[in-house]
Chain A
């Protein structure tokens, strides 16, 4: 823990605004000069209400009008609504997560989709955007890609924003980020103060260089973002991380119950990282289920939800991946780790 910079240093110095990169022509020129491909993927599970607009707007603005993106894909966890049909209709390549690297099995979770997208996508720069944004715009991609094209020392860029929540027909002026402020920021303050300068460490919109992402293990569930940040800070260093202000992001509100389960998954990943890097010693046995207290008819009962803490290895360790992308490094095949 010693020798780390205090909070506010480092990442705050690499904090941008999406408007800094709104000149799409400049980004296209930089991309062409560097000879890189850029891929965008949406991890989805039942997002039929918003995915069509996201795909249409970003494909039109950044693939059709300007050649900033080389591909747009949807990596779907098995939606039961019309997510896949809508995404196809508006021009995305649609993959079922379980069909990618089938030999390694399948887990349910956003992190699983992100990990598998590294195999399915072809870009040197990968952009991930959550599929529930109601006010999508090109800035969500250009803002994330901009720092990577502008500064070779930056390898991982996270979005942050105001988060007005949709409540009926109204937009609440502020809200969201509750898990960040109540759980993640206190944990970062305790253990990784150099990461406390991230405004929204859990934001679902981020981009990275394949050369970095292929070296990272992926929690398949809620902990994927926290896991990345801690692993990057230990490996490439926080100097590789930048963040970008996207102004505002309108999305659905989540219930406290859902946030509780999310916090449980994040805490498990966080604990695993503390253990992995020898920064704390944890009891040999920890729970695997989130326990909530539900009240009904004057009675209370425990509601138990299993939240598996499955972690995928760095994808560079997967033989098929190394073959597809001509990589030589890696310590051999390691199927899903539970």
Chain B
């Protein structure tokens, strides 16, 4: 961690030295009239950012990319911490010590190999990582570029955070470090995501993510009797968990997110992994459900003759009730104004982390797209509306007496 921190500081210093003097001056700004040009910039940055996941040293390459871009836009004082969070502050008109926080997940995924290389075909961009967060990061960069050229109409300061927290993994530690000592200074927070343009999650669900690793004894694939395979053990666990009704109010759900096991034809599957998320609107029920899931896994694997290890890989707390009411209403007005069809969703995300601290927080999506086992793609045309949504949200919040939040 210390060496990452040192390398990040060197990167920031290098980027400032390299671009700070002249890049901001020579950069061609996009005014409001040129909002269409922003789409190309978002797609281009998303491609270049996404492809940093192809190869080694992804964390450093991602920080380097963002630092260089911010310096290119003319930001002379980006702040980086030892976790790899990078942030800049755009001063408001009448800053009173509180700030609006817009953040995107710029964390490092596992090496995606050639899958992270992007292809463009007509109105679609394809590449592993684009739909997860790269478009969100690029949209936040475009906002940084826009604000550097046009300033903000907000009274509040605007903090733009490129977070090292992994939304996929449910890792909130880097956010925790970022917010340490400054939670009172954040008026509201918005997580800028790639997908689900029009999303409305009034009360983001809390989530607990578990990873189950099942191992069984080796044996000939055609041998009669003997222990179950890792696949049958995991399938039995999934089946039993799926039949549980967690509460009468249907406020708690279980999602089998991923299941991988087996070595292929002719081989007895001795090893497998299953990833599970438990979702709930009730903090107490979430805790009870987690204990019940762990107990069910242990009991079922024992019956199957498999060894199972359970690891908690991520946790999003349950948001405080009503905390997001004003911000949600503001977002609804933006959707109406831009004719974006609201898309009610119940999914956990990093915004819940801030909501649980009493900070109004929502996630917004920039475009539409798809994610599957083998492919991720995003649609390019809606990005223009997605970016307008970001600007309009800032404007609407600026009009609100509470700045859009508490």
Contact = CB atoms under 8 A, between A and B. Distances in A.
B121 interface: yes
Contacts of A60: 40-41, 43-44
Contacts, number: 87
A89 B117 contact: no
Interface size class of chain A, counting residues whose CB lies under 8 Å from the partner chain: 35 or more
Interface in B1-42: 18-19, 21-23, 25-28, 37, 40-41
A170 B120 contact: no
B51 interface: yes
A25 B113 contact: no
A3 B113 CA distance: 48
A170 B121 contact: no
Interface in A7-63: 22-26, 28-29, 48-50, 52-53, 56-57, 59-61
A260 to B, nearest CB: 26
A66 B27 contact: yes
Interface residues of B, number: 30
A67 interface: yes
B275 interface: no
B47 interface: yes
A250 B117 contact: yes
A29 B113 CA distance: 37
B48 interface: yes
A169 B37 contact: no
Contact of A248 (B19, B25, B55, B122): B55
Given A22-B18, A25-B19, A137 B48 contact: yes
B47 A64 contact: no
Contacts of A236: none
A24 B23 contact: yes
Contacts of B54: 135, 171, 250
B19 A23 contact: yes
A119 interface: no
A57 B114 contact: no
Contact of A57 (B37, B44, B122): B44
Interface of A: 22-26, 28-29, 48-50, 52-53, 56-57, 59-61, 64-67, 86, 89-91, 134-135, 137, 166, 168-171, 248, 250
Given A53-B119, A66-B28, 17 more contacts: A23-B18, A24-B72, A25-B26, A56-B40, A57-B48, A64-B28, A64-B37, A64-B41, A67-B26, A67-B28, A86-B121, A90-B120, A166-B114, A170-B114, A171-B55, A171-B113, A171-B114
Interface of B: 18-19, 21-23, 25-28, 37, 40-41, 43-44, 47-48, 51, 54-55, 68, 72, 113-115, 117-122
Leading 10 A-B pairs by shortest Cβ distance:
A52-B120, A25-B22, A60-B44, A25-B23, A25-B26, A60-B40, A134-B117, A53-B120, A57-B44, A28-B26
